[in-house]
Amino acid sequence: MKRVFSLCIMCLTLLTGCSDDKQHPQPDHLINQTLYTAITHSDRPDIDLQRDERRKPAQVLEFLGVRPGMTVVEIMAGGGYYTELLSRVVGRLGKVYSHNNALYYEFQSDKFVEQRLKNNRLPNVVRWDKELNNLQLPNDSVDAVFLMLVYHDFYWSEDNPEQILADLYKALKPGGTVAIVDHSATSGSGASAAKKMHGIHRIDEQLVRQSFEKAGFILEGESDLLRNSNDIRDKPFFDKDLIGKPTDRFILRYRKQEPKQEHPTSQNKPQ
């Protein structure tokens, strides 16, 4: 009964759209139906369904502009909660690179990834086991990059987060997007909450904005869908006091600049 109620709420949300997305065109009813079908798919694991209430995947993926036929990459995808949804939304003409690195497998093994992808159940997903500093994504090859609750991990696990952003910029097609959802740290704290493996695993939103703009990305949209003013932002999301409770999370969507169109001069205009 609880699942049916949650699905009804998702459906209503999809039909109404995201009111704070002022720059991106509203998807038509076919896109709404694609998202709804992906989220209500009967083959989704129970553990994923339990996370839906806090993650609001219908609203988030609509805001982030996921479309059928896209080629997308999820960086540090973990067990693949979003990978599966992305797979079903982009469809048979699309492709999803589901990335993890050796550090993830050191802590978690690849059991969940194997279960997610076994028997070719998500045929458009490519398992992409690469290091963050050597992603090996071809230039101008992907429509969207997703960093879902993982960007803060760049700061404790890698020496040069700026280079990773530069590599992601190169991998995106002109006009492609990068989406960031992450746990908010205290305003003005910079990377201090993200620099330790045993720290609180959060990041200051202002630092994220500065880093992406420095890398050349243009802010295209932001959303308060996952904000939680009751979270005082001083504990990790896995703290015992936060079990079952949502953290305060920001959502940002950036775009890679498209090359400027050259306008013909009066000398070379066709006569």
Residue 175 resides in a domain: yes
Residue entry with tokens 């982030």: 64
Residue 172 has pLDDT above 60, yes or no: yes
User: Is residue 98 assigned to a domain?
Assistant: yes
Domain assignment present for 91 = yes
Give residue-wise pLDDT tens across range 59-105: 999 999 999 999 999 999 999 999 999 999 999 999 999 999 999 99
Question: Taking Cα atoms as reference points, which of 132, 190, 201, 206 lies closest to residue 165?
Answer: 132
Backbone angles phi, psi at 159, to 5 degrees: -85, -25
Domain count, the chain: 1
Contact 146, 82 (CB under 8 A): yes
Structural domain includes residue 268: no
Three-state secondary structure string covering 188-213: CCCCCCCCCCCCCCCECHHHHHHHHH
- Domain for residue 271, yes or no? no
**Which amino acid does the sequence have at 99?**
H
Residue given tokens 């005082």 in the structure block? 232
Indicate the SS3 state at residue 248. Answer: coil
pTM above 0.95, yes or no: no
Q: What whole-number distance in Å separates Cα of residue 210 and Cα of residue 187?
A: 13
Which residues, 6+ apart, have CB-to-CB distance to 243 below 8 Å?
none
**Residue 188 has what pLDDT?**
96
The model's confidence at residue 259, banded by pLDDT at 50, 70 and 90, is confident
Task: Flag whether 263 is in a domain.
Answer: no
Is the Cβ–Cβ distance between 219 and 213 less than 8 Å?
yes
Residue 269 inside a domain? The answer is no
Core vs surface per residue 127-141: b (16+ CB within 10 A) or e: bbeeebeebebeeee
| pLDDT tens, residue by residue, 182-232 | 999 999 999 999 999 999 999 999 999 999 999 999 999 999 999 999 999
Q: What is the mean pLDDT of residues 240-252?
A: 93
Residue range of the domain that includes 149: 2-255
Q: In this structure, are residues 231 and 243 in contact, taking their beta carbons and an 8 Å threshold?
A: no
